[in-house]
Each structure stands twice: as C-alpha cells, then as structure tokens.
Amino acid sequence: MSSQDAPAAVVLPPQSSWSQFYALTKPRVVQLIVFCALIGMVLAVPGVPRWADVWLAAIACVGIWLVAGAAAAFNCIVEQHIDARMRRTSWRPTAKGQLSNTQTLIFSGALCALGSVVLYVWVNPLTMWLTFATFVGYAVIYTVVLKPLTPQNIVIGGASGAMPPVLGWAAMTGQIGPEALILFLIIFLWTPPHFWALALYRVEDYRKSGLPMLPVTHGNEFTRLQILLYTIVLFAACLMPFVFQMSGWFYLLVATVLSVMFCAYGWALWREYSDALARKTFRFSLIHLSVLFAAFLIDHYIP
C-alpha cells in the first residue's frame, strides 16, 4: 500500500479560544452560585413577583454571573501550577498553557468590571459592593492567602462561597435581612463536608500540589470525623428556615430527608472508608444543596 492509500489520521479540531475562556469561568460552579442567588431573590419578594421584580432578578443574575466568572478566571491564574499537577484540574487552559496570564487577567478584569457596572447601575450599589467583596474574598483572601497556608482554608474561605443568597436578597431589597443570613449559614456549614469528601479521594493530588488540605495535614480518619460532625450541625441549620417561619412544611420534609441522608453518608464514611463512598458523599452533597434550595423555591409558592 502506498502512502497515498494509507488512511489519514484523525485530527481533532483544537478547542476554540472562546471555549477556553468560557472554561476559565468554571461554568458548573457559577451555575450553582447563580441558582443560590436566585433563591435569595425569590424569598426576598413576598408572593408572586411582578414583571419589574422578574426583570430586576434577571439583571442581577447576569451581574452576579459575570463577577463570579471573573473570580473563577482569576483563581485559574493563581493556581495554574497547582492545577497542572492535579489530574482533576490539569485540563484547564491556564494549566495547559493555552491561555497566557495576561489574556486571563484581562478577561477576568473585563468580566468583573462589566458585572460591577451592571449591578451598580441597574440593581443597587449595595449588591455591587457585596459582590465585589465576594470576588476579593474568593480570588484573593481564599485563593492567595488561606488555601496555601492553613488546613482550615475551606472553613474560613467558605464565607465567600456562602454569599450568593445574601447577594440575591440585597438585589431585591437593598438591604441584608436575617433570612439571608440563615441561607448564608446553611451554605457556610455545607461547604466543609462537601470539599473534604472530595479531598479524601483526591488526597494524593492535593499532596503532590503542596496544598495543606485537611486529609493531608491531619489524616483520613480525622477528616472523616469532621465531615460527620459538620453534617450534624448542618442538619440543625437546615431546620432554621422552618423555625423562623421562612418556609413551610414542604421545605421541612425535604430538608429533613436530605439532612438525614447526608448524615448517613457522613456516618458510613466515618465507620468504614473507601474512595467510592467518599465520591458518593461528594456527589450527594451537590444533590443536597441543589434540591434543598429548589425546595425553598417550591415551598415559597405553595399556598
């Protein structure tokens, strides 16, 4: 067979620049952020929203998405060398060298500036400043300072990740109510068991990266105990919306079932560890938060 007769090798098209920039925004994470912010907006408006409320919420979601995406992109700059050593993150464009630091920094800055303008002009200044503070908290305080220095990085840094419902509430009311702080508390307590479950079965990745995640610094058994304890405390926090009359019986039922299941995962993980169980716990934690906040949404409109 001549060289002309040989079958041509299949060449996959390179990922487009737009796809690379979009990947920097960590779309799945940002989607959950915006969803939690939307729940804060919904709960802040009694009864059925007016068209003006719907329009305001839509604009606020766009602004929050832009700033959250900017924070994610900035995170990719700071952690590019760490990402390159971890199998979970080695595909990111900054880790692979597909996008330069300058390109990523300009992209992050443009998103942050655009999102801030949207929030300041069309929503309200409080929401803009809270969202910008969240950007600084995640991209700088957590990523640059806390994450490489302390095994409690997830606990302390979880404050910025718990802000979306507060941002949503502020967008609709122009203030921060106690209801928003309860939603903040739920996400704040949910964050450690969520990330530590991931860190357990990715412990070698984190060990190679040099990050002082809890399973690396304190071991597998101690981390499992912390996950169990946090799921129990989180259970109590998930009941607070009903106690403070933010929600009704539908939410209470869903929150109780989800919380019992999360505690069961924590108990099983503490009793006998396996990577498969840690992975299931991590995946369930995502279901827990998503369904819990969806229950808020449904309960809010039940007569």
Buried b or exposed e, range 62-85, using 16+ CB within 10 angstroms: bbbbbbbbbbbbbbbbbbbebbbb
- 216-253 pLDDT, tens digit per residue, is 999 999 999 999 999 999 999 999 999 999 999 999 99
Q: Is 128 helix (H, G, I), strand (E, B) or coil?
A: helix
Do 100 and 147 reside in the same domain of the chain? yes
Given 125, 156, 176, the domain boundary residue is 176
Q: What is the pLDDT of residue 290?
A: 93
**pLDDT at residue 13 is higher than 50:** no
Q: What is the pLDDT of residue 229?
A: 97
Q: What angle do CA 76, 90, 62 make, to 5 degrees?
A: 40
Residue 290 lies in a domain: yes
Do 151 and 42 reside in the same domain of the chain? yes
For the ranges 149-153, 218-222, 256-260, 286-290, the lowest mean pLDDT is seen at 149-153
DSSP 13: P
- 169-217 pLDDT, tens digit per residue, is 999 999 998 999 999 999 999 999 999 999 999 998 888 878 788 999 9
Domain coverage including residue 196: 177-303
Look up the pTM and report it. Answer: 0.87
Q: Which among 42, 37, 101 is positioned nearest to 68, based on CA atoms?
A: 37
Q: Which among 200, 203, 213 is positioned nearest to 269, based on CA atoms?
A: 200
Do 127 and 276 reside in the same domain of the chain? no
CATH of the domain at 79: 1.10.357.140
In angstroms, what CA-CA distances link 65 with 32, 54, 76?
A: 10, 16, 17
Residue 4 lies in a domain: no
Residue 10 lies in a domain: no
Residue 181 lies in a domain: yes
CA distance 80 to 97: 9
In angstroms, what CA-CA distances link 246 with 74, 149, 180, 237, 242?
A: 36, 38, 10, 13, 6
Do 59 and 132 reside in the same domain of the chain? yes
- Report the number of distinct structural domains present in the chain: 2
CA distance 154 to 206: 13
Do 157 and 189 reside in the same domain of the chain? no
Residue 7 lies in a domain: no
The residues near 115 (Cβ < 8 Å, ≥ 6 apart) are 62, 63, 64, 65, 66, 67, 69, 70, 131
Residue identified by tokens 């105990």 is 225
Do 249 and 168 reside in the same domain of the chain? no
CA distance 216 to 244: 39
Q: What is the pLDDT of residue 244?
A: 93
Do 189 and 164 reside in the same domain of the chain? no
Tell me if 33 sits within 8 A of 64, measured CB to CB.
Answer: yes
Do 97 and 184 reside in the same domain of the chain? no
